[in-house]
Amino acid sequence: MKTKAWRILAMLFAFSLVAAACGGSDSADTGTDSEEETSETTAAAEEEEAMEDDEEAMEEDEEAMEEDAMEEEDAPAAGGGDGVLTIGTILPVTGDLAFLGPAEVWGAELAVQDINAAGGVLGNDVVLEQGDSGDTTTDTANSEVDRLLSLNSDAILGAASSAVSKTVIDKITGAGVIQFSPANTSPDFTTYDDNGLYFRTAPSDLLQGRVLANEILDQGNESLSILFRQESYGQGLADAVQENFEASGGTIDAFIPYAVDVESFDAEVDQLVEAGSDAILVVGFAESANIITTMHERGIGPTSDVNVWGVDGNAGINGEMDDPSILAGFAQTTPSVDLGSISEFIARLEEAMGGEEETAYGAETYDSVIIIALAAAVAGSDAGADIAAEINDVTRGGEKCTTFADCIALVDAGEDIDYDGLGGPYEFVDAGEPAAASFRIDTYGADGAEADAARYVFAS
């Protein structure tokens, strides 16, 4: 008992000491301690409140992310079809082939106008989203394709340049979207692994190469030198000409590639002079103006005894030259139907372009859009794969028609159609390209300002 009592007293004494220590005998100390306790309590409360706010913000973010995910699931993917046929374009507004841009851009615009005037497709107007392709020195095409895919494009029209198309074909067709070019001519696309989604109204350069070789030989030339852009278009066309020229008994003296970004052609022209061929073929774009000027200075230009030829990529170079008269006698080939047979469309196109004179590939661009729209109508869907499955057949084997209005009336009546467009009776093969084509041969006159009356040849 005594021990227990002492223990209790000891505990009470210790407690009183602790209380004294905590409370203190000084009123100032007491106030300071109270303020510290209050401050600690307030800070703790504020921290707890901040944590609660952070949790609420996180919950709101999670809800927003879930809503976005649901919206993305509900939104149709590019090429997946949403009932509205949307066609994007990557046409040459800028870059090496910008001289072709106006005709192609307005060719697409006029086609959509005609389609929508006839009631559209699948009960809705066709939507056209225009874009730029730039050239191989820029990344314009890739960024434009990203934008067009984000707009749920079912098909993308372009590029004009085969080399540019090669930079985006995997991205487009890999997204289940159709790529349809009005001007690509590289033979590489015939066998390209494109998931059955790449098409073109322009013929392969295997055909143009045959035409060029025959035309040059028919002039009496036994030897030829070829100067060409070192990319898919230039290489493909140069190879095709070489093969056909040699197969017909001609001799290739020089086969000279040049880099697409070179500005001086002195070294290449020196090789042409040394070769001394009967004829020279220049496979280039706008830079051909510089090449031919240098050739003229070295005595082997179009006004010399040498026959100088060009191709569709050279179209419009007279507008790039300080002295276009040095083009007198220069001849070039361009995939094209007889423009006289589509004079009404050409007049309409020129009016829309507001004074631009180059109309190459305008008709082929117009037809590309019409073919896509008719295939969508036949498929009853705007999904890329569904449209692609019908494209070849709307150009072959059915009731012939030449306008969207006439063709869609046949489709609505359950008829199989064969669209023969402005650019000719395409008759697509299974690879999604024309089986045959017409080529215009232009020879520049004495002033070099414009070509004399053109003639046409057909190749298949």
**CATH of span 86-202+361-428:** 3.40.50.2300
Q: Could you tell me the pTM of the whole model? A: 0.81
Buried/exposed 20-58: b ≥16 CB within 10 Å, e otherwise: eeeeeeeeeeeeeeeeeeeeeeeeeeeeeeeeeeeeeee
pLDDT in tens, the chain (460 residues): 433 333 433 343 333 333 333 333 343 344 444 444 444 444 455 555 555 555 555 555 555 555 544 444 444 567 778 999 999 999 999 999 999 999 999 999 999 999 999 999 999 999 999 999 999 999 999 999 999 999 999 999 999 999 999 999 999 999 999 999 999 999 999 999 999 999 999 999 999 999 999 999 999 999 999 999 999 999 999 999 999 999 999 999 999 999 999 989 999 999 999 999 999 999 999 999 999 999 999 999 999 999 999 999 998 888 888 899 999 999 999 999 999 999 999 999 999 999 888 999 999 999 999 999 999 999 999 999 999 999 999 999 999 999 999 999 999 999 999 999 999 899 999 999 999 999 999 999 988 776 777 899 999 8
Angle at the Cα of 67 from the Cα atoms of 61 and 72, rounded to 5 degrees: 125
3-state secondary structure of 44: helix
d(CA 33, CA 418): 96
CB neighbourhood size of 96 (10 A): 22
* Residues 6 or more apart in contact with residue 239 via CB below 8 angstroms: 187, 209
Crossing angle, helix 140-150 and helix 162-174, to 10 degrees? 30
The pLDDT, as a whole number, for residue 446 is 86
The pLDDT, as a whole number, for residue 453 is 76
- The distance of Cα 408 from the centroid of its chain, to the nearest Å, equals 27
The domain spans of the chain are 86-202+361-428, 206-340+440-459
At the fourth CATH level, the homologous superfamily of domain 206-340+440-459 is Response regulator (3.40.50.2300)
Among 161, 87, 99, CA closest to 125:
87
Q: Which pair of tokens denotes residue 72?
A: 């993305």
d(CA 233, CA 160): 10
Rg (CA), the chain: 36
Among 402, 398, 345, CA closest to 370:
402
The pLDDT, as a whole number, for residue 76 is 55
The pLDDT, as a whole number, for residue 62 is 55
Strands (E), 259-303: 279-283
CB 76 within 8 Å of CB 82: yes
What contacts 24+ positions apart, CB below 8 Å, involve 344-347?
A: 345/110, 345/422
The pLDDT, as a whole number, for residue 133 is 98
The pLDDT, as a whole number, for residue 343 is 95
Secondary-structure breakdown of the chain: helix, strand, coil percentages, each rounded to the nearest 5 = 50, 15, 35
Q: Which pair of tokens denotes residue 29?
A: 């100390």
CB 441 within 8 Å of CB 454: yes
- The distance of Cα 219 from the centroid of its chain, to the nearest Å, equals 38
The pLDDT, as a whole number, for residue 33 is 45
Q: Which pair of tokens denotes residue 430?
A: 């299974």
